Amino acid sequence: MSKVTNILVCGVGGQGVMTATEILAEAAISLGFDVKKTEVAGMSQRGGVVTSHLRFGPEVLSPQILAGDADLLIGFESAEALRWGHMLRPGGVALVNSGRIVPPVVNIGLFDYPDEPVAQMRALGLRVHDFDATALAVQLGNIRLGNTVMLGASSDWLPFPAEVLRDAVLARFGSRKPQLVDANREAFAAGRQAVAGETLAA
């Protein structure tokens, strides 16, 4: 592989976007790639917008992915996936958690939440795989597993075997909370299954 792979992970502050990207980065590093990772966000904590850029390949210069250059968009929240849809390259793929996080500005009636964010993305001609990762995580016993579910979903769209990413996920939890390893293995598999069927076109 000579080109640089661009992965954009987006969501809402507090969802674990940065951790997920970090794990993707660790997988790429374990394979010997040059890797850069950056966050592009306003004040990303406390419920704001978070986007994390990951680039890896033989040599990576700028850490930023440009509009129209992302191979993969991993959207942790529907409206955020719609907001960043233009980052995908033609032929790129979006994996979207259809779960919603409605912010206070919508609650107090200043703005509307888009009716069908995923449908809007498809209408724009984007290739989207969506599923309710939040619900899946809750079903598996912990809403925080949503992170791993999304990584599982992305694992077959990477230019390296899904197992490399799975091992990076398990290594991270294994060192911090060993009791979570099995749950994460399950969450990873569940996410992978949820969008099974296609792979990333070269």
Partner 1 sequence: MSASQPVPAAARLFLSGNEAVARAVWEAGTRVAAAYPGTPSTEILEVLAKYPDLYTEWSINEKVSLEVALGASMVGARAFCAMKHVGLNVASDALMTMTVTGTEGGLVIAVADDVGMSSSQNEQDSRYWGRFAHVPVLEPADSQEAYAMTRAAFELSERFRTPVILRLTTRICHVKGVVVAGEREAVEPGGFTKDPRRWVMVPGNAKPRLPLMFEREAAVRAEAQTSPLNFVVDGSDRRIGFVTSGPAFMHVREAFPDAPVFKLGLSCPPPLESLREFAATVDSLLVVEETEPLLETELKAAGIACYGKDVLPRTGELAPDALHLGVARLRGEAVPEPEHVVPQQVFPRPPTMCVACPHLGVYYTLSQMRNVMIAGDIGCYTLGAGHPWNALDSCISMGASMGTALGMDKGRGKVDENKKVVAVIGDSTFMHMGMQGLLDITWNRGNVTVLLLDNRAVGMTGGQDNPGSGRDLHGEETTRVDFAKLCEALGVKKERIRVLDPYQLPVLFKALREETKIEEPSVIITDRPCVLIDHYVPTKPYLVKEDRCTGCGNCVDVGCPAIHVTRRDKEVKASGKEVDLSFVRIDTSACTGCGLCVQPCAPEAIIHAEPVQTLQPVQFVRK
| Cβ proximity to partner 1, 44 vs 98, nearer residue | 44
DSSP helix/strand/coil, 38: strand
> What is the C-alpha separation between 18 and 44, in angstroms, rounded?
10
Torsion of CA 195, 26, 75, 197, to 10 degrees: -10
DSSP helix/strand/coil, 96: strand
Binding mask 147-176 for partner 1 (x = CB under 8 A): ------------------------------
Q: Which amino acid is present at 181?
A: V
Site for partner 1 in 178-197 (CB under 8 A): 179-180, 182-183, 186
CB of 69 to partner 1, least distance (A): 8
Site for partner 1 in 2-41 (CB under 8 A): 12-13, 22, 25-26, 29, 34-39, 41
Q: Which amino acid is present at 138?
A: V
| Cβ proximity to partner 1, 1 vs 66, nearer residue | 66
Size of the site for partner 1 (CB under 8 A): 68
Binding mask 75-94 for partner 1 (x = CB under 8 A): ----xx-xx-xxxxxx----
| Cβ proximity to partner 1, 63 vs 159, nearer residue | 63
Instruction: Answer left, alpha or beta for residue 8, where phi above 0 means left and psi between -120 and 50 means alpha.
Output: beta
Nearest alpha carbon to residue 130 among 121, 139, 141: 121
Q: Which residues contact 31 (CB under 8 A, 6 or more apart)?
A: 160, 164
Nearest alpha carbon to residue 22 among 70, 56, 58, 72: 56
Q: Which of 5, 6, 15, 44 binds partner 1 (CB under 8 A)?
A: 44
Q: Which residues sit at the interface with partner 1, rule CB under 8 A?
A: 12-13, 22, 25-26, 29, 34-39, 41-49, 60-64, 66-68, 79-80, 82-83, 85-90, 102-114, 117, 120, 124-126, 139-144, 179-180, 182-183, 186
